[in-house]
Amino acid sequence: MSAAERQAERLESGVVTELAREVVRRLAEHPKRTQLTDHHATAAEVDTLVKALLSDRHAAASDMLAGLQADGLPLSEVYIGYISGAARRLGQLWDDNEIGFLQVTLATSRLTAIICALKKVFYDREGSPRRRALFAACPGESHVMGVSMAADLFRREGWEIDLEIGQDHDELLMAQHLGDYPVIGLSASSDAMILPMARFIRAARLLTPQALIYVAGEITHQHADIATTVGANGVLNDPVTALAQIASALERN
């Protein structure tokens, strides 16, 4: 096992355990909640959905929600009344030590898949989804010129790039959750950014598991194995070669 892989394992012990708790809370705090009709699902209905999410049958929860839609319940009410309620309930069960890490991770991944299927409820994008990316400075990062220049270059090549600078972990994670970006470029300049970067990448993996995540910035010159350390798909050494690198990865993906 390489030094980078050993460091990644050490990061896992401090990051992944907190991750499941964090994601279920993020799913329950959607910022457009007030814009959607609120269906007041009963506690018993929410508990039924939670049991389905934790059950041995993979499709139990999605089948339950599909049944509600077939009965005429609007998608927005399914999301707000049931899914947000289940996310909050999972958080409570986790806090009270009534379910373990593997259970909350399983339920969260299923809930995330359902949310992806309902994403048209809270946003709608036009155009090709493959030439979209989120470029961001790592939470806590103050060196932002490089990522800004990279965003400009990609835009000139026809990419739809959303640039996030100065966002904290929660804000950046919510941007990825709402945007469902197929590509993420995360810029960092120093060792102090390794833990925040690893924490964000692992959270983003749960929300958008198919996304290609790349590390850029001075950190890539300081640590040749930084992608392995933080769980990224690779590094971007410069904006020019990054265009071809990402395009090739999307084709393979």
- Domain containing residue 214: CATH number: 3.40.50.280
Q: Same structural domain for residues 11 and 96?
A: yes
Q: What is the pLDDT of residue 188?
A: 94
Q: Same structural domain for residues 79 and 99?
A: yes
Per-residue confidence band for 120, with pLDDT thresholds at 50, 70 and 90: very low
Q: What is the pLDDT of residue 203?
A: 86
Q: State the alpha helices, DSSP H only, in the chain.
A: 3-27, 43-53, 60-70, 75-77, 84-95, 101-117, 145-156, 169-179, 194-207, 219-222, 226-230, 239-252
Higher confidence at residue 216 or residue 8? 216
Q: Same structural domain for residues 117 and 134?
A: no
Per-residue confidence band for 124, with pLDDT thresholds at 50, 70 and 90: very low
Whether the per-residue pLDDT at 149 is higher than 60: the answer is yes
CA distance 170 to 149: 24
Q: Same structural domain for residues 110 and 157?
A: no
Q: What is the pLDDT of residue 81?
A: 76
142 CB-near residues (< 8 Å, 6+ apart): 189
Number of folded domains in the chain?
2
Question: At which of 121, 147, 181 does a domain end?
Answer: 121
Per-residue confidence band for 212, with pLDDT thresholds at 50, 70 and 90: very high
CA distance 237 to 7: 22
Phi-psi domain of 140 (left: phi exceeds 0; alpha: psi -120 through 50; beta: other): left
Q: Same structural domain for residues 46 and 77?
A: yes
Q: Same structural domain for residues 117 and 147?
A: no
Q: Same structural domain for residues 115 and 137?
A: no
Angle, CA 169 vertex, CA 242 and CA 179 arms, to 5°: 60
Whether the per-residue pLDDT at 20 is higher than 70: the answer is no
Question: At which of 104, 121, 138 does a domain end?
Answer: 121
Q: Same structural domain for residues 148 and 51?
A: no
Q: Same structural domain for residues 71 and 169?
A: no
Closest CA to 193 of 118, 141, 124, 233: 141
Q: Same structural domain for residues 152 and 110?
A: no
pLDDT digits (tens, 9 = 90+) for 195-210: 999 999 988 888 788 8
Strand (E) or helix (H) holding 213: strand 212-216
Q: Same structural domain for residues 134 and 218?
A: yes
Question: At which of 121, 139, 167 does a domain end?
Answer: 121
Task: Among 57-66, 120-129, 172-181, name the one with the lowest average pLDDT.
Answer: 120-129
Q: What is the pLDDT of residue 1?
A: 58
Average of per-residue pLDDT across 202-220: 89
Q: What is the pLDDT of residue 135?
A: 95
pTM above 0.75, yes or no: no
Q: Same structural domain for residues 106 and 209?
A: no
Q: What is the domain extent for residue 187?
A: 129-252
